[in-house]
Amino acid sequence: MMNKLAPSLPESLVTDEALYLNRRQLIKGATAISALSLMPAKRAAAAQRQPLNYQRAESNLDLTPEKKVTTYNNFYEFGTDKADPAKHAQALKTKPWQVAISGEAEITGSFNLEDILKWNPLEERIYRLRCVEAWSMVIPWIGFSLGDMLKRFKPTSKAKYVVFKTLHDPAQMPGQRNRWAGGGINYPYVEGLTIAEAMHPLTLMAVGLYGKTLPPQNGAPIRLVVPWKYGFKSIKSIVSIHFSERRPRTTWHDLAPNEYGFFANVNPSVAHPRWSQASERIIGSGGIFSQKRRDTELYNGYGEQVASLYSGIKENHFF
Ligand SMILES: Nc1nc2c(c(=O)[nH]1)N[C@H]1C(S)=C(S)[C@@H](COP(=O)(O)O)O[C@H]1N2
Ligand SMILES: [Mo]
């Protein structure tokens, strides 16, 4: 389904980096103010995405158009507007990239993404994404099971939780420079899963979407995707993974403890304090006046696979 009202990205916005840098040279002599007006953030060269080799997936879900997936984003490190990440994240430096492994595991240390990528073959996973704001997408991710990666580090019996952190680099991330620009979040963004959730085969470490490496706005070069939980659990641009004995503090829970819990499993019958979660807007399904909705499913439709994770849990795992 194409969205006729969606603005299309003009060719002028996707000029390659060399050309863009040449333009910068050309305007060097201009005054700062006119340089800025010639180069609004929107004109930043789109980050180059590399094609990936991966095993394709079959799915009968209707994919969200790629343009929507890469222009309607939540990545508060780059601003709180849905269009901000695509505008402000293009210069994010994703090479070289390292992920630090620490805590309750036999093997810890810093690992290059290039090496991590050699450990497991890449596969496509077509998953629903349900944001806590009551909109949804269907995204063809490319990655590998988080559990397959974590097993290599031999977590100890004390590893009850896995804690993830996003890059903290205010020089690259304008949302981290002040509270107002970054939506009030105390950076770095932190998320966590129980060890059982982290080891579940559906839990994905994604490095690509739509056949290519992730664009920065979607969490390049490596991000989490937990399809049965609200989207805020799926932390982007990960630089640290920590095995912990204790439940960590997590970003959205810290920000509004009465609105966002640790588990955040999708449930249509548990309303957010300020809105219903019973249904969701399908992003890319039509224009402002014709956008379709669907009923939200328990565990976002993945209950058959994941409900057993919560059978022994007494606390409210829907919060
Ligand atoms: N570091 C970080 N990760 C993040 C966020 C964020 O603001 N910062 N937003 C979350 C939210 S609310 C959602 S819905 C998803 C959106 O992922 P997408 O932009 O790839 O669709 O990313 C999640 N991961
Ligand atoms: Mo979200």
Cis amide linkage into residue 155, ω under 30° from 0? no
Q: Which of 211, 218, 219 is nearest to 51 (CA)?
A: 211
Q: Looking at the CA of residue 72, tell me the nearest atom of ligand 1.
A: 19
- Give the mean model confidence (pLDDT) for residues 269-292: 96
Instruction: Inform me whether the pLDDT recorded for 18 exceeds 50.
Output: no
> pTM, whole model, 2 decimals?
0.88
Question: Coil, strand, or helix at residue 193?
Answer: strand
37 is known to lie in a ligand binding site: no
Which atom number of ligand 1 is nearest to the Cα of residue 252?
12
Mutate to test the pocket of ligand 1, among 76, 225, 236 (most ligand atoms within 8 A of CB): 236
Which residue, among 213, 155, 219, 169, has the nearest Cα to 191 in the 3D structure? 219
Instruction: Please check if 210 is assigned to a binding site.
Output: no
Class of 16-37+50-309 in CATH:
alpha beta
Rg (CA), the chain: 20
Average pLDDT, the chain: 89
Q: Is the pLDDT of residue 7 over 70?
A: no
Residues with CB under 6 A from ligand 1: 73-77, 129, 131, 166, 189, 218-219, 231-232, 234-236
Which pLDDT belongs to residue 179?
A: 87
Residues lining ligand 2 (ion), CB within 5 A? Answer: 74, 131, 231-232
- 30-76 pLDDT, tens per residue? 333 333 233 445 456 788 999 999 999 999 999 999 999 999 999 99
Q: How far is the CA of 233 from the centre of ligand 1 (A)?
A: 8
Q: Token digits for 258?
A: 């009465």
The annotation status of 235 as a binding-site residue, yes or no, is yes
Give the ligand whose atoms come closest to the C-alpha of residue 72.
Answer: 1
pLDDT at 44: 64
Closest ligand 1 atom to residue 224 Cα is 24
pLDDT tier for residue 288 given thresholds of 50, 70 and 90? confident
Mean pLDDT for the stretch of residues 166-185: 96
Assigned token pair, 4: 């006729």
Nearest residue (by CA) to ligand 1, atom 20, is 218
**Is 53 annotated to bind ligand?**
no
Q: Which amino acid is at 48?
A: Q
Q: Which of 120, 142, 236 is nearest to 188 (CA)?
A: 236
Strands (E), 94-172: 98-103, 109-112, 123-130, 135-145, 161-166
Give the number of the atom of ligand 1 that is nearest the alpha carbon of residue 175.
7
Nearest ligand to the CA atom of 78? 1
pLDDT at position 34: 32
Q: Does the N-terminal peptide bond of residue 170 adopt cis geometry, omega within 30 degrees of 0?
A: no
Query: Which residues fall within 8 angstroms of residue 156, CB to CB, at 6 or more apart?
Result: 104, 105, 106, 243
Is 76 annotated as a binding-site member?
A: yes
